[in-house]
Amino acid sequence: MTHDARDTDSVPPDDVQDASRRGFPTLEAFLAHVGARAFRFAELGLRNREDAMDAVQDAMIRMLRYQDRPSEEWTPLFWRILRSRIVDIQRRRTFRLRWISPAAPHEDGSMPEWADDAPDPSRAHEGREAYARLADAVAALPRRQREAFTLRVLEELDVATTAEAMGGSEGSVKTHLSRAREALQRQMEDWK
């Protein structure tokens, strides 16, 4: 099940709701709806397009096991599966780097390649730079804060669904989100 991030660009960004409210008739429709956002979430966590695509594809394939579950369970289940795949890839990366070169950094520092299909190149460049700064700031957050921020703010999941996806309490989601917002606020002030 190959999935391109552009497959779901027709979904309005302000129409981000969970499967139960959207009333997806099939798991395939749900996965098509969530695909682009899942890719962005994975890319922020992994900072590598290929690894992000692999994580999303793996999560979607694993979701096929749960297609008989009620659609209201799909959203937290999918995000929990994707989050687990991202953590697994990060651990594997760290383990590999430790054995290959103990002095090697955890991140290679390279930026993802961005497709430029915008009509105005200067505006597209500014948008990519702004997104890259935001991505760097989000990536610099501790893992739990990054997850809380991306699931609550970027994915617009409610607190209960985010807590279920993260495997924690609603209180911990609120705490992590608050700390993430404070850290990002400081970063934004430094950019001005």
CATH code at position 171: 1.10.10.10
Domain limit, last residue, from 106, 131, 149: 106
For residue 114, tell me if it sits in a domain: no
Look at residue 23 in the predicted model and tell me its pLDDT: 66
Same domain, 74 and 137: no
Indicate whether 4 and 76 sit together in one domain.
yes
Q: Is residue 184 part of a domain?
A: yes
Are 140 and 86 in the same domain?
A: no
Q: How many residues does the chain have?
A: 192
pLDDT per residue, tens digit, the chain (192 aa), is 444 443 433 333 333 344 444 568 899 999 999 999 999 999 988 888 999 999 999 999 999 999 999 999 999 999 999 999 999 888 887 765 554 444 444 466 555 554 444 455 666 666 677 777 878 888 889 999 998 998 888 788 889 999 998 999 999 999 999 999 999 888 877 665
Q: Same domain, yes or no, for 31 and 92?
A: yes
Q: DSSP code of 24? A: -
60-65's contacts with Cβ under 8 Å and 24+ in sequence apart are: 60/1, 60/3, 60/31, 60/35, 61/1, 63/27, 63/31, 64/27
DSSP string of 34-81, one letter each residue: HHHHHHHHHHHHH--HHHHHHHHHHHHHHHGGGTTS-GGGHHHHHHHH
Q: What is the pLDDT of residue 4?
A: 43
For residue 87, is it within any domain?
yes
Residue 164 lies in a domain: yes
Regarding whether 48 and 90 lie in a shared domain, the answer is: yes
Asked if residue 112 belongs to a domain, the reply is no
- Residues 40 and 70 placed together within one structural domain of the fold: yes
Q: Which residues contact 140 (CB under 8 A, 6 or more apart)?
A: 183, 187
Query: Would you state the pLDDT for residue 107?
Result: 61
Boundary (domain end) residue, out of 106, 134, 164: 106
Query: In angstroms, rounded to a whole number, what is the distance separating the alpha carbons of residues 31 and 169?
Result: 26
Predicted pLDDT at 191: 62
What's the confidence (pLDDT) of residue 20?
42
Of 74, 106, 138, the residue that ends a domain is 106
Are 131 and 97 in a shared domain? no
pLDDT at 31: 94
Q: What's the confidence (pLDDT) of residue 121?
A: 60
Residue 119 DSSP code: S
CA distance 163 to 17: 16
Q: Do 1 and 57 form a contact (C-beta atoms < 8 A)?
A: yes
Instruction: Give the range of the structural domain holding residue 187, as residue numbers without chain letter.
Output: 120-192
Residue 178, C-beta contacts closer than 8 angstroms, at least 6 positions apart: none
Report the number of distinct structural domains present in the chain.
2
Same domain, 89 and 6: yes
Q: Is residue 181 part of a domain?
A: yes
Q: What is the pLDDT of residue 22?
A: 53
